[in-house]
Structure formats: C-alpha cells, structure tokens
C-alpha cells in the first residue's frame, strides 16, 4: 500500500530514536520525497510552503483523543490501565491496540466514551498482557469510520512493558491537538486531480508528516511526505502541500495527515477530514 511505501522511504533515514521515550536523540532535517506509481504522470513534485505566523498553543483545539494515563515512559507490569478524554465518535466507540517496538501486535480491545453520543467525555480500559523480559511498546487509541473502517483519528503513548518488577506511572498532561487540518475542510469537494492540504502540526521526528488520500473503498491512492515549518523541534508549525490524485468518478474520500513513528511501523498521531473526491 502507498502509505507503507511512504513510511519505507522515511524509515531509511530514521534512527531508533523514540517518540515518547526518554533519551531520544535529536533529529536532523530531511527533505520531502515524492512517491511514484498512482500519481498522474507529468505532475510536478509538491513542495511544502509556510507563510502563516506560528500560533500560540491556546489558539489550537483540545486533543481529539487525549491519553491521560499512562504517561510517556511509564513502566507497566501485567496490565495497562488506559484512561483519557475524547471527542465524540461513531457510536462513541474507540479502538485500542498495544504494539511492541518491532510493530507486532501484543493486545487489542475496544472501549466507549462514557457520555451520550455527540459529547466529548472520558474513556478507560484495562488491557492485560504477557511478555518476557522488558520491551518498549506503544499504546494506540483511535476512532474508525463507519463507512470503510479506516482510522479517522489516532493518538499514541510510548511506554515500557515488563514481566516483573516495580510499576512506575508517569504523569501525562492535557495538550492541544497535535495535527490540525485547516484545508480542505470536512465535507468539502476537491476536484481537478490535486488536493491542497494545509494546517498546523507537530512532527515527532525530522519535522516530517505524511499526507494520504483514500478513495471510497478505503484504499490509499496518493501519499506524500511534507516538512513542518516550526520554530523548533517539538513545537507546532505550519504545513502546506498540493497532492496529486486520480479518480474516475466522484466518490467519498478521506484525507489523513499522520506523524510516522521513528521506532515502529505505525503512526504516533493521525488526523483526518472526510471529503468528496471528484475527477
């Protein structure tokens, strides 16, 4: 799939420096790479642009899926208690996955946002696990589309899972949304074979985010990486890119902007907007 190809391009330059782990190495800049194949022939390589001023964090909305426990770097033994606050989702459902640092799935479950539909509210779940020794792992909490089952929003937390020993729960604090897509807006119709994507985001490694266009079947039809123009690493910055795509007919689609992990084959964070894709 195209997204895997995009991550493979990025992964060739990534060291195993962590997203949420203590002691991560300092990233260095990397140029965006245009991926071939399903893009229309003859298109120019999109470039990332940024002319808007950097916003202050209070200008950004709350994180759509906020994980409050466990915090980054927590050491957990035998079971994971996960809690947080999330925006409303389809039937208030949230998916939960626990991935080891090699990308393998250790555990998977689901939970609900414990308020009436249409409201932001708390969620929690307990996930037992069995592991030998001690491993870095990632907890992913995500919402999915009722249309195609694709992930519409995802947040993650890096932790340490252990077979035995002390439990150490690190604190986690509320924070603004990591990836804010300002264009296109939800429900927009994009046409002409190019979608303009812009917003404000935080990239966890090498200032790189990835834009992916999905068609009505949930298949990725275009993927491009971009560089966030931020004042410093770990701070929000603007992003802007034009992504060529190709469809034969008007259809529902989804635009995602994701923050690929430097540690495992997956995403630290993902945001999306639902659109109509027109030729």
For 2-59+177-277, CATH number?
A: 2.60.40.2550
pLDDT for 153 equals: 98
pLDDT recorded at residue 3: 46
**Predicted pLDDT at 266:** 83
CA–CA separation, 260 vs 279, rounded Å?
29
Q: Which CATH class for the 65-162 domain?
A: mainly beta
Tracing tokens 């964070």 back to the chain, one arrives at 269
Three-state SS at 92: helix
Of 212, 184, 187, 214, which is closest to residue 199 (Cα–Cα)? 184
Global pTM reads 0.80
For the chain, residues with pLDDT lower than 50 are 1-52, 54-55, 57-58
Q: Residue written as tokens 């001690």?
A: 134
Q: What contacts 215, CB < 8 A, 6 or more positions away?
A: 221, 247, 251, 253, 277
Domain-by-domain residue ranges, the chain?
2-59+177-277, 65-162
Nearest to 167 by CA among 249, 259, 245, 77: 77
**H or E element in which residue 96 lies:** strand 93-100
Per-residue pLDDT, 176: 94
Map residue 176 onto helix, strand or coil: strand
Q: 212 by DSSP, 3-state: which?
A: strand
End-to-end alpha carbon distance in the chain: 22
Cβ count near 235 (within 10 Å): 11
């Amino acid at each position: 799939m195209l997204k895997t190809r995009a991550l493979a391009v990025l992964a060739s330059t990534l060291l195993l420096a962590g997203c949420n782990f203590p002691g991560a190495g300092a990233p260095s800049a990397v140029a965006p790479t245009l991926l071939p194949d399903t893009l229309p022939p003859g298109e120019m390589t999109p470039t990332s642009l940024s002319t808007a001023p950097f916003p202050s964090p209070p200008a950004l909305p709350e994180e759509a899926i906020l994980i409050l426990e466990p915090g980054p770097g927590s050491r957990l033994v035998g079971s994971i208690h996960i809690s947080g606050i999330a925006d409303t989702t389809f039937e208030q459902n949230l998916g939960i996955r626990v991935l080891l640092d090699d990308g393998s799935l250790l555990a998977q479950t689901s939970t609900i946002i414990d308020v009436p539909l249409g409201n932001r509210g708390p969620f929690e779940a307990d996930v037992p696990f069995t592991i030998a020794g001690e491993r870095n792992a990632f907890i992913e909490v995500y919402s999915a589309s009722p249309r195609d089952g694709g992930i519409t929003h995802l947040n993650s937390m890096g932790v340490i899972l252990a077979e035995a020993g002390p439990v150490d729960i690190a604190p986690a604090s509320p924070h603004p949304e990591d990836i804010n897509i300002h264009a296109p807006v939800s429900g927009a119709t994009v046409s002409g074979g190019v979608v303009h994507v812009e917003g404000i985001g935080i990239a966890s490694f090498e200032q790189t985010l990835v834009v992916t266009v999905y068609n009505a079947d949930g298949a990725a039809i275009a993927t491009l990486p971009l560089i966030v123009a931020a004042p410093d690493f770990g701070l929000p910055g603007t992003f802007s890119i034009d992504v060529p795509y190709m469809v034969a007919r008007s259809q529902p689609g989804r635009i995602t902007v994701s923050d690929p992990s430097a540690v495992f084959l997956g995403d630290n964070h993902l945001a999306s907007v639902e659109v109509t894709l027109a030729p």
